[in-house]
Structure 1
């Protein structure tokens, strides 16, 4: 395997782009070796869905696009990044908060932790941020 495999897509900050982002990541990770319909593909799709939804809904028109990046590192870690140009970082809600929306990062943090991963947020040079998820690459165990 190469030292690093990469794929990315930049999409308009529009609700229709969320399903495009989900399909993009599912297609890429299947191409890289995850079995279609596996729990790992479903988890990655759900994480990207939540992060893309946040990029669309919570940037208040200040980010005309968002970018989804995938990096498969030689150390068998998959890094997923969702970048937008809005300066506000995701807010941590208490687990006990009861509301109909705003639970995306709770879901992302939970899925990331449950799968042995790590979540970080980094600023971009343009004043936005990238939410990064690093997960163990499940294809080695399943292949």
Structure 2
């Protein structure tokens, strides 16, 4: 089974998170998989939420993002130095933030968090439809 993986550093700023999201998704697109637009858009939205949460809740200490494609499973993982676990918040309907975990839960097939010696890893997985690899 062919495996593709990329890990990138993330500067601890909103701009750094946006740049890392674009870079990691460009890598995923370059793996020549016949991804559907729905899967790519969902993975990109979730990557953006995971990265934004890491930047917002770690006081700019930076993070890393990994995308891994193994078989039909795409995993997006963001590691950051904070030991604080994410939790769902009640937000007002006009609030500009506080919905990240709800978005992740709605778009990903699975998601979770794992604590480790250097902080935590927040991840989401997508089961991709079966399709041939395509030449670019």
Contact 2:8 2:24 in 1 (8 A): no
Residue 132 (structure 1) aligned with residue 109 (structure 2) = no
Taking structure 1 as the reference length, what is the TM-score of the superposition? 0.81
Residue 25 (structure 1) aligned with residue 24 (structure 2) = yes
Residues paired across the two proteins, number: 131
Q: Secondary structure at the match of 1:27?
A: helix
2:48 is aligned to: 49
Residue 92 (structure 1) aligned with residue 88 (structure 2) = yes
Which residue, out of 42, 51, 75, partners 1:79?
75
Runs of 4+ in 1 over 2 A off after TM superposition: 33-37, 140-143
Q: Which runs of 5+ in 2 are unaligned?
A: none
Contact 1:25 1:44 in 2 (8 A): no
Greater relative contact order (CA < 8 Å, ≥ 6 in sequence)? 2
Q: Which runs of 5+ in 1 are unaligned?
A: none
**1:55 CA drift (Å):** 0.6
Cα distance in structure 2, aligned partners of 1:135 and 1:36? 11
Cα distance in structure 1, aligned partners of 2:14 and 2:55? 6
Q: Secondary structure at the match of 2:32?
A: coil
1:108-129 alpha-carbon deviations (Å, 9 max, x no partner): 11111xxxx1011001222x11
Cα distance in structure 1, aligned partners of 2:73 and 2:43? 13
Cα distance in structure 2, aligned partners of 1:72 and 1:142? 14
